[in-house]
Chain A
Amino acid sequence: MDARKNCEDVAMQLLVTAVSREPPVWVKQPTWHFVYAKLINIGVAGISKGANHHDLRGKCVTDLSRILLNGQDADEDGNVGGEKFGDTPLIASRLKPWRDKKY
């Protein structure tokens, strides 16, 4: 990660999902703020502005999952985790913002 100056948040998400075994929760920000933030951030330099930034992020998910799962237990079929491509602790859920329930 130091080499890429990137992906520390993906690593954090992997760890947290590995511990909780639940998908993360999305809190929606107000639309006006979303648009406003987009507008005022135009031209701001940052690590996420590179051309291949998002390719690298995909590689990060793949690599970090393998590194984390490497050396862990094998399942009943003898498949050692992390040796197969595509294994990951991440869990997907529906893209729905969190809502406070009113009881």
Chain B
Amino acid sequence: MAKGVGVFDFAWRRVPMRWRLPGRRTRRVTAALLLVVVLLNQVTPGAWHSRSARGSSGPGEICAEHEPGSRGDAATASLRARLIAVLEERSRDVDGASEASNPTAPTNNSPQRLDDTKFTVVLNTFQRRDLLKKAVAHYARCGDVAEIRVVWSEQVPAPTENDADARLYFPNPTAKRSDRPKIKYDPHPTTSIQNRFDVKGVTTTAVFNIDDDVRMPCASLAAGFRAWRRNRNVLVGYFPRLHVWRKEMCQHQYVWDTFSMWRHGEMSIVLTKAAFMKSEYLRLYTERLPDDARKVRIARFPNPDTVYSPSLSALLVTLPVTFTSTGNCYKPTLTDSRLTLFFFTISTWTRGRTAKTWRCNFW
């Protein structure tokens, strides 16, 4: 490539001259590309389409249970209040306990006096010994790791340091380092997948949840920890996912693959496959999650036979405006060029979203 010439210039010069002129072939190619874009829209409806689908469904539609304006705001608020109460209650308990055992100790604002400069790796594994050995060896090598807690749900005795093959389960790659992480195996009586949040006695404020098949590079781990320190209340992780309300199916759709995520341009879930969070939240999970949530079964839905069918109106072109959700309000903004390319779907924002939009005082 010639110096000072951009990639696009370079590519454009490779295109034969007669293709550059707007002849029949150009028109044909353009039409084919447009068709592809439209078809893609039909296969994976993008952000624009899902915005309208996430909105209201009027009377007589399939999922009539859901009404606009009642997205469970009040319920979410009261749920939040209860969860925070659980957190505070527990930290008060810990305060009380420590004061009782050592009454002369000065009362500290941070209730549990946890280590804030490092994090604990909570490694979830199940019958994948080769991956476990690799993962333990990998995370023992990383900085900022205070301790590695392996969630041992296999119903066989956990490895100990006295085993013949202890070298594999308790690797010692940086023996000279004084801050070498301790490795601990926590046996559990059940094989439940929820054991991974049932970790007691964490000594750090941050916890890094990880599956045995993910070996995040140490540099990314450090970057994630930095990000978590700036966002302490949320999950900070490496695998984003999205939920989209599909009123046609009367349930949420789970968006997971890279292409669809990019098409939607949004995220709402971060997988605990690899994520930082407060160690308090572990307790929140084990103590607060209702029992019926723990053994949730597939519920019956009003009309399980209805599937999503693309409509003809989805072929129309609309304004390049998208809605950014902040909390439960939807703020209309001009979209970036990436999205405008795909705006071949019509939305019903004039029908469902405007009331919600104008009620929020963004202006």
Contacts and interface: CB of A to CB of B under 8 A. Distances in A.
Interface residues of B, number: 91
Contacts of A77: 69-70
B237 A27 contact: yes
A57 to B, nearest CB: 4
A8 B252 contact: no
B247 interface: yes
Contact of A22 (B63, B214, B234, B271): B234
B285 interface: yes
Given A3-B297, A81-B75, A19 B80 contact: yes
A37 B224 CA distance: 18
B168 to A, nearest CB: 19
Q: Is the interface of B mostly helix, strand, loop or mixed?
A: mixed
A42 B69 CA distance: 44
A61 B267 contact: no
A68 B284 CA distance: 13
A77 B216 CA distance: 47
Nearest to B131: A44
Contacts of B155: none
B235 A86 contact: no
A44 to B, nearest CB: 6
Contact of B272 (A5, A8, A47): A8
A27 B254 contact: no
B237 A61 contact: no
Interface in A1-34: 1-13, 15-30, 33
Nearest to A44: B213
B196 A86 contact: no
Contact of B220 (A13, A29, A75): A29
B251 A22 contact: no
A89 B75 CA distance: 9
Interface stretch (B28-36, B157-165, B286-294): B286-294
Given A23-B267, A100-B227, A72 B78 contact: yes
B252 A100 contact: no
B53 to A, nearest CB: 10
Nearest to B264: A95
Interface string B221-252: 00110111011011111101011011100111
B223 A100 contact: yes
Nearest to A28: B238
Nearest to B296: A63
A3 B267 CA distance: 27
B293 A5 contact: no
Given A2-B193, A81-B72, A82-B75, A62 B296 contact: no
Interface in B273-293: 273, 275, 277, 281, 284-285, 288-290, 292-293
Given A19-B284, A25-B227, A26-B238, A1 B217 contact: no
Contacts of B277: 12, 16
Given A19-B84, A95-B262, A41 B213 contact: yes
Contacts of B76: 18, 21, 69, 72, 81, 87, 89
Given A12-B285, A22-B233, A73-B78, A67 B83 contact: no
A85 B193 contact: no
Interface of A: 1-13, 15-30, 33, 37, 41, 44, 46-47, 54-69, 72-77, 79-95, 98, 100
Given A86-B247, A86-B250, 17 more contacts: A3-B295, A9-B271, A12-B285, A16-B281, A21-B327, A27-B223, A27-B236, A30-B219, A58-B243, A64-B296, A65-B252, A67-B292, A75-B73, A81-B79, A95-B265, A98-B236, A100-B223
16 contacts: A8-B272, A11-B293, A12-B281, A15-B83, A16-B234, A23-B234, A24-B236, A25-B227, A25-B236, A27-B223, A27-B238, A41-B213, A61-B254, A65-B252, A72-B78, A90-B243
Question: Ordered nearest first, which 3 A-B pairs have the shortest CB separation?
Answer: A81-B75, A87-B72, A75-B74
